[in-house]
Amino acid sequence: MSFSMKATIRAWWVPEHQVSCPTGLWNDLLKQLHARSHGRHESGAFLLGTERGGRREVEGVVYYDELDPMAYASGVCVLHAPSFARLWAMCRERKLGVVADVHTHARHAFQSNADRTNPMVATAGHIAIIVPDFASGPNLKERMKVFEYRGQHAWTDRSPDTAKDFVYTGFWS
């Protein structure tokens, strides 16, 4: 009989979470997003990992500007088709999948019309996370917005104020 003590404790203490990211990786992600935004424009990344029992476990990050050096040139995150070919090749090489994407907004986290109509991964179930204040400042996790893509440009709000602990970044990740 094989089981994971970590998984058992995580399921008991944080039963609602659907995306799990280790604290250190999450903190590094926020620092990188802030640095890449230069406090002036959006920045973003794909969260890579695996899905186990309906939960997405983040194991790595690929930043948009690593896929496309011009990703932030317009001030908002824009990736062109060749970027996705590079992303899928990285996923195959690392034997991981895209479990979510995350990008920043200037002040408040909200889903813009462009975000709503242009999902980074247009597959039902994909998670999009939007972080306020170019990923700097207090209480970012409580102020971020989380959306689950349902297809046909429809989304479900899974933000901390509506779905507590949907995204978990604690010790038991």
Position 105 in a domain: yes
Mean pLDDT of 51-57: 89
Q: Is the pLDDT confidence value at 15 over 70?
A: no
Residue 92 has pLDDT above 60, yes or no: yes
For residue 165, what pLDDT is reported? 79
Residue 172 has pLDDT above 60, yes or no: no
Report DSSP letters for 105-121, one per residue. -SSS----HHHHHS-SS
Per the CB < 8 A criterion, the answer to whether 48 and 91 are in contact is: yes
Asked whether 158 and 18 are in contact (CB, 8 A), the reply is: yes
- DSSP secondary structure of 6-73: HHHHHHHHSTT-SEE--HHHHHHHHHHHHHHHTTTS--EEEEEEEEETTEEEEEEEEEHHHH-TTTTT
The Cβ-side half-sphere exposure at 65, using a 13 Å CA radius, reads 18
Question: Quick check: is 70 in a domain?
Answer: yes
For residue 98, give the CATH number of its domain.
3.40.140.10
Confidence of residue 9 (pLDDT cuts 50, 70, 90): low
Q: Is the dihedral of CA 131, 133, 134, 138 positive or negative?
A: negative
- Residue 2: pLDDT band with limits 50, 70, 90: very low
Predicted confidence band of residue 1 (pLDDT cuts 50, 70, 90): very low
Q: What is the pLDDT of residues 103-160, one digit of tens each?
A: 999 999 999 999 999 999 999 999 999 999 999 988 898 999 999 999 999 999 999 8
With respect to residue 3, please indicate whether it lies within any of the assigned structural domains. Answer: no
Residue 46 has pLDDT above 50, yes or no: yes
In a domain, 38, yes or no: yes
Domain, as residue range, for 110: 17-168
Interatomic CA distance for residues 173 and 168, integer angstroms: 7
User: What is the model's pLDDT at position 53?
Assistant: 83
What mean pLDDT, rounded, does the chain reach?
A: 90
